Amino acid sequence: MSNKLFGMESTARHRQTAMEEIEARLRGHAVGTTSRNLWQKPASLMNAGLNHVQQGGEQHTFFWRLKNHYDGGTGADFKINESEFEYLLKKGTINHIKAKNIGDGLFRAPINFYNSDKDLALSFGNAWVFYKMEGAYKIYYDFNDTYDFDSKPWGKGRSIPNEIITRGYNLYSNGKSFRIYCKKFYF
């Protein structure tokens, strides 16, 4: 993940250069031989901040965990934790226009991962999120997907390359489909 901070890209490659530039600027404005010690702590804190921004929060990976669970052939449900759930909400594209009212102010909406990173695109493709409307706010409480390498009609639901990958792996593997979910209730 790349974020802009002070007009400078904060990637791993630029972090060291940024720290050297900050330290050089601080040394240039300081007086005497104690300037390095005076600015060492603020520079260290700035480096920690750049590291945090560069990481962009917590990173989760799913592909190998889900593939191995599928290949294990048990068919047991796979529960994701709340941190992973929040990560998926942030990375996926929720289509609220296609949301269905399932009663009592509860809704089910498709979430698409094909335009997110490769790990999520290959792990989920499309899934469902569930939410409750509280005034103008959406409170997400469930994620649901079936990991099954199901084929779809050509051009319906998946791009041609993604359908080829899905059908190819379905022929290769003897795995068993399973449900992926996260239920959390705030009401």
Q: For the domain that residue 87 is a member of, what is the CATH number?
A: 3.30.450
Calpha distance 115→83 (Å, rounded): 21
pLDDT digits (tens, 9 = 90+) for 56-114: 556 788 999 999 999 999 999 999 999 999 999 999 999 999 999 998 889 999 999 98
Clarify whether residues 29 and 103 are in a common domain.
Answer: no
Give the E-state strand segments of 76-171 in sequence order: 78-79, 93-94, 100-103, 106-112, 126-134, 137-147
Looking at the structure, tell me whether residues 153 and 72 fall in a common domain: yes
> So what's the pLDDT on residue 186?
59
Over range 117-123, report the average pLDDT. Answer: 88
The reply to whether 72 and 136 lie within a common domain is yes
What percent of the chain clears pLDDT 70, i.e. is strictly above it? Answer: 67
3-state secondary structure of 36: helix
Distance, CA of 8 to CA of 46 (rounded, Å): 13
pLDDT at residue 4 greater than cutoff 70: no
Coil vs helix vs strand at 41: helix
Query: For the whole model, what pTM was predicted?
Result: 0.64
Label residue 18 by pLDDT band (50, 70, 90): very low
Task: Give every CB contact of residue 151 below 8 A, 6+ residues apart in sequence.
Answer: 163, 166, 167, 170
Q: Structural domain of residue 12, as residue ranges?
A: 4-55
Q: Residue 126: name the closest of 88, 100, 164, 90 by CA.
A: 88
Q: Which has more confidence, 91 or 28? A: 91
Going by pLDDT thresholds of 50, 70 and 90, the confidence category of residue 22 is very low
Same domain, 48 and 79: no
Q: Is the same domain home to 50 and 67?
A: no
Domain count, the chain: 2
